[in-house]
Amino acid sequence: MLEAEFTYNLPGVVQSLRESREKTHKIRHLGKVRELPDRQSIEAILEGLFAALFPTHYGRADLTDESIDYFVGNVLSVALNSLTEQIRRGLYFSAGNDLTREVTFNELSESLTARFASELPAIRALIVSDIRAAMSGDPAATSVSEILLCYPGVSAAIHYRIAHSLYQLGAPLLARFISEIAHSRTGVDIHPGAMIGEGFFIDHGTGVVIGQTAILGKNIRLYQAVTLGAKRFPEDGDGNLIKGADRHPILEDDVVIYAGATVLGRITIGARSTIGGNVWLTKNVPPDSNISQAQSLGH
Mean pLDDT, residues 97-122: 89
Mean pLDDT, residues 64-74: 96
pLDDT at 299 over 50: no
CB contact burial 158-169 (16+ within 10 A = b; e otherwise) = bbbbbbbbbbbb
Please check whether residues 119 and 75 belong to one and the same domain: yes
What CATH number does residue 291 fall under?
Answer: 2.160.10.10
Q: pTM for this structure?
A: 0.89
Q: Within a domain: residue 104?
A: yes
More confident residue, 92 or 290: 290
Please check whether residues 55 and 106 belong to one and the same domain: yes
Q: Within a domain: residue 74?
A: yes
Please check whether residues 271 and 150 belong to one and the same domain: no
More confident residue, 243 or 192: 192
Q: For 14-27, write each residue's pLDDT tens digit.
A: 899 888 888 888 77
Q: For 118-138, write each residue's pLDDT tens digit.
A: 999 999 999 999 999 999 999
Please check whether residues 60 and 176 belong to one and the same domain: yes
Q: Within a domain: residue 213?
A: yes
Please check whether residues 155 and 228 belong to one and the same domain: no
pLDDT value of residue 280? 96
More confident residue, 242 or 48: 48
How far apart, in Å, are the Cα atoms of 106 and each of 42, 86, 109, 115, 132?
18, 11, 5, 15, 39
pLDDT at 37 over 70: yes
Tell me which residue range forms the domain holding 266.
207-235+243-299
Please check whether residues 111 and 139 belong to one and the same domain: yes
Task: In whole angstroms, give the CA distance from residue 226 to residue 223.
Answer: 6
Please check whether residues 168 and 225 belong to one and the same domain: no
Please check whether residues 135 and 278 belong to one and the same domain: no
Q: Within a domain: residue 229?
A: yes
Provide the pLDDT confidence category of residue 30 given band limits of 50, 70 and 90: low
Task: In whole angstroms, give the CA distance from residue 251 to residue 42.
Answer: 31
Q: How many domains does the chain have?
A: 2
Torsional class of 73: left (φ above 0), alpha (ψ -120 to 50), beta (otherwise)? alpha
pLDDT at 5 over 90: no
Show which of 188, 220, 255 is a domain's final residue: 188
Q: For 215-270, write each residue's pLDDT tens digit.
A: 999 999 999 999 999 987 777 777 777 777 899 999 999 999 999 999 999 999 99
3-class DSSP assignment, residue 281: strand
Q: Within a domain: residue 200?
A: no
pLDDT value of residue 96? 61
Provide the pLDDT confidence category of residue 184 given band limits of 50, 70 and 90: very high
Q: Which amino acid is at 127?
A: I
Please check whether residues 292 and 228 belong to one and the same domain: yes
Mean pLDDT, residues 98-117: 88
Please check whether residues 228 and 175 belong to one and the same domain: no
Which among 65, 53, 70 has a CA at the least distance from the CA of 119? 53
Q: For 125-172, write each residue's pLDDT tens digit.
A: 999 999 999 999 999 999 999 999 999 999 999 999 999 999 999 999
Please check whether residues 103 and 138 belong to one and the same domain: yes
pLDDT value of residue 266? 97
pLDDT value of residue 32? 64
Q: Within a domain: residue 166?
A: yes
- Strands 268-269 and 256-257 turn out to be unpaired
Q: Within a domain: residue 29?
A: no
If you average pLDDT over every residue of the chain, what do you get? 91
Please check whether residues 178 and 137 belong to one and the same domain: yes
Q: Within a domain: residue 223?
A: yes
Task: In whole angstroms, give the CA distance from residue 273 to residue 269.
Answer: 7
How far apart, in Å, are the Cα atoms of 253 and each of 13, 19, 187, 259, 286?
58, 55, 25, 19, 12
What CATH number does residue 49 fall under?
Answer: 1.10.3130.10
